[in-house]
Amino acid sequence: MNLPTHITFGALVGALFFGRWDIILLVAIGSVLPDMDREYGFFSKDYFRDHQLHRALYHNFVFIGIVFLINPYLALGAFCHALLDGINTAKDRGVEWLYPFSRLVKKARYDHDGKKIAFDIKTRVYMYQNDPVELTRKTAEDMKLFTLRPWRRIYGPFYSGGILDIGIFVGSTALILFLALLSVFGVRTFIDFYQPQFSFNFIGPLSIGVLGISLVLGVGETKRYREAKKASRTPPMLWKLSFFLSNFLIAFGAGLGGYLNPGSSKQSSLLGGRNLGGIFDCLHCA
């Protein structure tokens, strides 16, 4: 799925279930986080491709759980992102939900032709079968050279760049605008634009975190396209520094939010939507 589709779908989920602009914003931002597992930072192209980190490193339940400890609404956005990616075909590599635990499983019970593989007495945990060769050969460019490995990824029936992707983006945007118009004209309040008020305790840490995320994605994509036709190499120091700085900003924004609003994470309510959970939840303190 394209990034605008993830953002609009996350915003729609926030609008439908919570109806507050601040929560909608956090869910939308959370829906960006998983795509930071591309070949950015310290990863060379060969290392990245050999280990198949995209749709694995940050597209999994462990990462979503860690984000939940920081902020449940960011975690909801990250889950929505992985969920959409999980309904894509093998062409777009699907999602490795159980990473990193799935990497501990080295063998499968059946090969890619469906034939039984002899048990290895030293191997106690198996995947059901190996990754299908023909599916792998139809996938993204860096995965076409088939390497025998257990089938760890979850695939769906839909192309990421096809009608579904466009439909989700257009449909989510249209529904958000419709709910917003009904709310603004007083027909029914689906989105509360007026409460709570802006405060530095919310906007400050959030802005720093967004800046860090933007640097990861912006600088990372620039590096990816510039290095695409070059031989694989360790990223130059400038790219490493930018990657370190961007991650520092994300961590600093989270830490600042916690410092400005001590104890706010204990007061969060994900299901009720009454408070802006996690360390970014500070509007009730304004």
Predicted confidence (pLDDT) per residue in 2-39, tens digit: 899 999 999 999 999 998 888 898 899 999 999 988 87
- Give the whole-angstrom CA distance, residue 255 versus residue 90: 38
pLDDT at 200: 78
Give the least confident one: 118-132, 235-249, 251-265.
251-265
What confidence category does residue 201 fall into, taking pLDDT thresholds of 50, 70 and 90? confident
Give the least confident one: 46-50, 64-68, 149-153, 214-218.
46-50
- What mean pLDDT do residues 149-153 have? 85
pLDDT at 79: 97
Is residue 273 over pLDDT 60?
no
pTM over 0.85: no
The mean of the pLDDT values for the chain is 81
